[in-house]
Amino acid sequence: MQQSLFSDTPFRDGKNKKDGQGELNPSQYEAVTSIKGPVLVIAGAGTGKTRTLVHRTAHLVQTGIPPENILLLTFTRKASMEMIRRASLLMDESCHRVAGGTFHAMANMLLRRFGHHLGFERNFTILDRPDAESIINLLKSSLDLSRTGKRFPSKRIIMDIFSKSVNKSMPIDELLEGQYGHLINFLDDLHLIQKHYGKFKLEHGLMDYDDLLVNWQRLLAESPEAREAISSRFTHVMVDEYQDTNLIQADIVRLIADRLNNIMVVGDDSQSIYSFRGADFRNIMDFPRTFPNAKLIKLEENYRSSQAILSVTNSIIEKAAEKYTKKLFSRIEGGVKPIIYAASNDTTQARYVIGKIQDLMDEGIPLTEIAVLFRSGFHSYKLEMELTNNRINFEKRGGMKLTESSHIKDVLSFLRILTNPKDNISWNRLLLMLDKVGPKTAEKVLENIKSADDPLEALLNYPAGKSWKQGFESLLKMLLSLREPGLTPVDLFDRVMEYYDPLFKKIFPDDYPRRSRDLEQLRVILAGYHDLRSFIDDTTLDPPENIGKSGDPLSNPTDRLVLSTIHSAKGLEWDAVFVIHLAEGKFPPARAFLSDQLEEERRLMYVAATRAKRRLFFTYPREVMSADFMSVNSAMSPFLSEIPPVLVNSPGIHSSRRPAIPREKTLFQKDKPKSAKPTPGQTSFCPGMRVRHPFFGEGSIQAVKGPKTVEIFFPRHGKKTLRTDYTKLEILE
DNA sequence: CCATACCGACTTTTT
DNA sequence: GTCGGTATGG
């Protein structure tokens, strides 16, 4: 019935047959056409969530909503561009006027436009993580905190704390009590740094990622004028991946939609994987409370995966402690059972993957329809080497970003100062490049810029020390030359490189050839821009992946295997998916047992497995490299041993059974192993377990630190970290 | 105050 | 492999 209604609309997607379904199912249809009032869409993996958003965007435009009044908030810029592109295929070019992007990108745009209501400069610079951390370091030394015998927490940890505090809307006191208990002595110092950090950013026109969200929220909450302008501009708002929003983002959504209530959020609590960044899938559950007459729509038919794959993914998520039931079903019957493969080590794992990729290609699956996913960036190092040896092209997503390497940061510093002459962190970087200038000298010089109208002019009169006067003057002269009107971004880059190249070779004598390829890549990106500010903002908000060692960088980018962290694979799908490094202690990482992180790890495993359409492979090495370059035996991840054997094939391990791994290794269930002695090479310990040590007596396991290392608390002796292969531990019931 | 060299600790995930 | 702290010499 819906279909007949529907077939008159121009948003029938005849070309898009990839899900075997040219039109929308009743739930999708309802989500698409419910354009008034608040709507919550719970969309399981592969249920056509993106498709629904695409159609809805087209539908809104079709019903006469001006495209520029539509706001589509997504998790990545790529996702929103893709959706808008597809909507414009359904509807027409006007869809490109739809405002789309990440919360951070939208915040940036709005703060440049309306930020003056809160007293922000229009030309603020966005700090990425390394920038923010280097400010922390500057403050640490200027506040004279790095002294005193006690080891001060690193900039990394400090930023983690500050950022979590913002994203979880939790004061750092409370945060320290929980996750960072060991740092409680530094509470006062942290408060002090935090205060100065805020002041520093304000004085120098800087905003970190978190500030973008916070200040957008403040803009809506504190400036009636800005709020009116923004909420009347965006009359129809859609938010994708709502399970990965935090409280600030939820509040932004609330404030923006408050007036017309035309708000739709889409999410899946089972795929919430960003709690480390403050995301809380309870936002989904709270949505009906914030918007009392919200319509709830569930998308439950899976169009992506074969039933064989879906059975496995369902078994993974079934064990979740807390979930909101959706019953996913697929009409794609049968299919090939997923495979679990135990490789002897990292190298054989890589070779297995490559062998299978070649088989898949022989079966007619193109390279671009295959992906290899992993928990952490470094899990793919060996595979990257082997792929290069085998001349298979790949692109790696996740991990180190291009703009985070120091030579790129060096070059960007020159450009950033042009757009924001008060950008102290860039100035600092440039000054430190000069011979005979160190942290102290740089700090002294920079005291002169925060009050200056034109810092560059001010510095021209600065009495430089004899030993570095020359270098200082040529730096300023070069910066002045960049102000010449009419220069394109590429012109600027070339001028900067004229100055920087000799320094560059001096700073990186060992590997400047490799690094200079990054600079070339940067130049190519820059060539696509005519506005320097957009280039800088874009590369900070959506940093390009470091293409550094991805097979042959000159190869056709449309024919590449994707290697990706699971986080970066969110929302994507491939015909064949490999999930590698599913070894105990690696995925889930041992530290996940410490806190409440296990559930999130399970969802991560679920996200990984649900990316597959037709073929799914799980692999793990039986031997992993520990931190001290020792090879240690390792078992299968508990996530794998939990999967009912009948749902998978496990070659190399007795037909389809997997007796190699004792069932009690299922670390998530409360039943404990009965054996008193750990088998060599395997950990059968888990947190909470009671053990007896020949000397320390009875204790309880606090954490599993590695395959053979556990941390145990003994009431009479305190906390001990022990090697299970050296210590005879008796497990008590 | 700066440059260099060495040692030890730590390395999840991302806007 | 990389950051941070430290020791040494200029």
pLDDT at A21 (0 to 100): 40
pLDDT at A509 (0 to 100): 78
Position A523 confidence tier, pLDDT thresholds 50, 70, 90:
very high
pLDDT at A196 (0 to 100): 92
For the CA of A613 and the C1' of B2, the distance in angstroms is: 59
- Per the model's pLDDT, the better-predicted residue between A149 and A626 turns out to be A626
3-class secondary structure per residue, A101-129: ECHHHHHHHHHHHHHHHHCCCCCCEEECH
**Start-end of H helices in A465-564:** 469-481, 489-507, 512-527, 532-541
- Per the model's pLDDT, the better-predicted residue between A630 and A367 turns out to be A367
How far apart, in Å, are the Cα atoms of A341 and each of A243, A244, A350, A559, A650? 32, 32, 11, 26, 6
- Count the helices and strands in chain A (H runs, E runs): 26, 23
> Which nucleotide comes closest to A149 if you measure CA to C1'?
C5
How far apart, in Å, are the Cα atoms of A316 and each of A311, A608, A610? 9, 11, 10
Give the residue among A702, A689, A692 at the shortest CA–CA distance from A727.
A692
pLDDT at A673 (0 to 100): 34
Average pLDDT of the residues of chain A:
84
HSE value, Cβ hemisphere, 13 Å, CA-based, for A685 = 35
> Which nucleotide comes closest to A406 if you measure CA to C1'?
C2
- Tell me the C-alpha distance between A705 and A157, whole Å: 19
Q: Is the pLDDT of residue A381 over 90?
A: no
Give the residue among A261, A215, A40 at the shortest CA–CA distance from A119.
A215
For the CA of A441 and the C1' of C9, the distance in angstroms is: 20
Joined tokens for residue A158: 């400090």
For the CA of A202 and the C1' of C7, the distance in angstroms is: 37
Q: Is A688 near strand B, with its CB below 7 A from some atom of it?
A: no
Give this prediction's pTM: 0.85
Question: Residues A110-161: pLDDT tens digits?
Answer: 999 999 999 999 999 999 999 999 999 888 888 776 555 567 888 999 999 9
- Tell me the C-alpha distance between A198 and A430, whole Å: 23
Q: Which nucleotides of C are covered by protein (CB under 7 A)?
A: 3-6
pLDDT at A330 (0 to 100): 82
Q: Is A506 near strand B, with its CB below 7 A from some atom of it?
A: no
Cβ neighbours for A353, distance < 8 A, ≥ 6 positions apart:
A372, A383, A578, A580, A617, A619
Share of chain A above pLDDT 90, in %: 53
> Which nucleotide comes closest to A400 if you measure CA to C1'?
B14
Among A163-177, A208-222, A616-630, name the one with the lowest average pLDDT: A616-630
Architecture of domain A329-393+543-656: 3-Layer(aba) Sandwich (3.40)
Tell me which protein residue sits closest to nucleotide C10, measuring alpha carbon to C1': A436
Maximum mean pLDDT: which of A190-199, A320-329, A551-560: A190-199
How far apart, in Å, are the Cα atoms of A420 and each of A233, A539, A701? 28, 16, 53
Cβ neighbours for A346, distance < 8 A, ≥ 6 positions apart:
A382, A621, A623, A624, A625
Question: Residues A43-55: pLDDT tens digits?
Answer: 999 999 999 999 9
Q: Class of A406-540 per CATH?
A: mainly alpha
- Per the model's pLDDT, the better-predicted residue between A340 and A330 turns out to be A340
Q: Is A540 near strand B, with its CB below 7 A from some atom of it?
A: no
Q: Which residue has the tokens 């190092």?
A: A381
pLDDT at A490 (0 to 100): 95
Q: What is the mean pLDDT of residues A568-597?
A: 87
Going A452 to A453 to A455 to A457, the CA torsion angle's sign is negative
A404 dihedral zone (left: phi>0; alpha: psi -120 to 50; beta): alpha
Q: Is the pLDDT of residue A565 over 90?
A: yes
For the CA of A402 and the C1' of B5, the distance in angstroms is: 29
For the CA of A52 and the C1' of B4, the distance in angstroms is: 60
For the CA of A130 and the C1' of C7, the distance in angstroms is: 28
How far apart, in Å, are the Cα atoms of A288 and each of A34, A37, A294? 16, 12, 5
Position A708 confidence tier, pLDDT thresholds 50, 70, 90:
low
pLDDT at A705 (0 to 100): 58
Q: What is the mean pLDDT of residues A333-341?
A: 89
For the CA of A224 and the C1' of C1, the distance in angstroms is: 51
Q: Class of A670-733 per CATH?
A: mainly beta
> Which residues does strand C reach (CB under 7 angstroms)?
A 133, 137, 140, 146, 151-152, 154-156, 406
Tell me which protein residue sits closest to nucleotide B13, measuring alpha carbon to C1': A567
Over the range A139-160, which residues count as b (16 or more CB within 10 Å of their CB) and which as e? bbeeeebeeeeeebbebebbbb
Position A18 confidence tier, pLDDT thresholds 50, 70, 90:
very low
Q: Is the pLDDT of residue A248 over 60?
A: yes
Question: Residues A270-322: pLDDT tens digits?
Answer: 999 999 899 988 899 899 999 999 999 999 999 999 999 999 999 999 877 66
A73 dihedral zone (left: phi>0; alpha: psi -120 to 50; beta): beta
Q: Is A543 near strand B, with its CB below 7 A from some atom of it?
A: yes
Maximum mean pLDDT: which of A157-161, A210-214, A312-316, A383-387: A210-214
For the CA of A732 and the C1' of B10, the distance in angstroms is: 33
Among A371-380, A564-573, A716-725, name the one with the lowest average pLDDT: A716-725
Cβ neighbours for A625, distance < 8 A, ≥ 6 positions apart:
A346, A631, A632
Superfamily the domain A14-115+212-303 falls into: P-loop containing nucleotide triphosphate hydrolases (3.40.50.300)
- Tell me the C-alpha distance between A236 and A53, whole Å: 12
Q: Is the pLDDT of residue A727 over 60?
A: no
